[in-house]
């Protein structure tokens, strides 16, 4: 349930359209809905700013569609991850706005394009890491962040990432996805003063151990300001990047509100203050 829905419910009570018992009954059923095999958390958006996300792996298609139908009834906004082709087809039938992102294994439903704010940059070491990066990108975008990508810039050709130093510095937070040796997050972390979210992937030959080699490299990063997600956890990286990005956006807006009006006018923009628009 969103803040706006709670506000409307309370407004109906104040105007006498709902009595106290009716309001209590609605509030009692709002936090969670029990389906037997799942308990749908309808207050997730109220607490965290986004509805419950469905992790589809390990669930049957029938279970996923039942959960999705309940969420769409209340929120009109859906994000389902690790979606199989069969489950994706079923979800696409639930809502005409449903969209399948096969590379990221995600299905989304958005009633309209959300305003995208701030600046998140998602990088990959190689093309094989793109599916995990796309999971991060779509997650952050659906939640409301502006996201750019920089793919296949790994350390085997380190000039590729070094030549993009300006773009790295322009981002508010960076998600760096890498398999094999997993070195790229350390390199990026040494080039910027922004938070770096490292995501190890399971790509690589035998001794990469399904991503453990990259995970251990990232956990032992010598560059400061690097945090590490679980192997292949693009969703977690996208969600964290969005939250960090929104904290920066809140700070930017608070600074803008304190600025004299003349500095916010078109003639007063420029120099140091123009950076507040980014």
**Is residue 39 located within the same domain as residue 163?**
no
Mean pLDDT of the chain: 88
CATH code of the domain containing 176:
3.40.50.1970
CB of 79 within 8 A of CB of 53?
Answer: yes
* Residue 175 covered by a domain: yes
* Residue 268 covered by a domain: no
Banded pLDDT at 277 (limits 50, 70, 90): very low
Number of domains in the chain: 2
**Is residue 104 located within the same domain as residue 180?**
no
* Residue 46 covered by a domain: yes
**Is residue 92 located within the same domain as residue 157?**
no
**Is residue 126 located within the same domain as residue 215?**
yes
Average of pLDDT values for 234-242? Answer: 97
**Is residue 149 located within the same domain as residue 39?**
no
Range of the domain at 159: 117-252
**Is residue 45 located within the same domain as residue 171?**
no
**Is residue 93 located within the same domain as residue 130?**
no
Tell me, what's the pLDDT at 142?
94
**Is residue 213 located within the same domain as residue 168?**
yes
Average of pLDDT values for 155-176? Answer: 95
């Amino acid at each position: 349930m969103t803040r706006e829905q709670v506000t409307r419910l309370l407004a109906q009570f104040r105007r006498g359209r709902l009595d106290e018992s009716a309001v209590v009954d609605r509030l009692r059923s709002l936090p969670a809905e029990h389906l037997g095999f799942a308990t749908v958390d309808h207050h997730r958006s109220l607490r965290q700013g986004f509805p419950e996300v469905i992790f589809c792996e390990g669930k049957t298609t029938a279970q996923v569609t039942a959960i999705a139908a309940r969420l769409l009834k209340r929120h009109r906004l859906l994000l389902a991850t690790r979606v199989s082709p069969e489950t994706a087809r079923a979800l696409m039938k639930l809502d005409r706005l449903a969209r399948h992102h096969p590379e990221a294994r995600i299905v989304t439903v958005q009633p309209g394009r959300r305003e995208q704010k701030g600046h998140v940059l998602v990088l990959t070491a190689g093309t094989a890491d793109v599916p995990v990066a796309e999971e991060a990108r779509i997650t952050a975008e659906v939640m409301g962040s502006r996201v750019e990508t920089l793919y296949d810039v790994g350390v085997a050709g380190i000039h590729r990432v070094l030549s993009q130093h300006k773009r790295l510095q322009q981002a508010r937070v960076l998600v760096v996805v890498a398999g094999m040796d997993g070195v790229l997050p350390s390199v990026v972390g040494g080039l910027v003063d922004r938070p770096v979210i490292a995501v190890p992937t399971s790509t690589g030959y035998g001794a990469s151990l399904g991503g453990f080699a990259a995970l251990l490299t990232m956990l032992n990063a010598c560059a400061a300001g690097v945090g590490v997600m679980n192997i292949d956890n693009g969703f977690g990286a996208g969600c964290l990047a969005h939250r960090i990005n929104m904290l920066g956006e809140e700070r930017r807006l608070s600074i803008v509100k304190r600025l004299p009006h003349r500095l916010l006018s078109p003639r007063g923009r420029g120099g140091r203050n123009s950076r507040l628009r980014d």
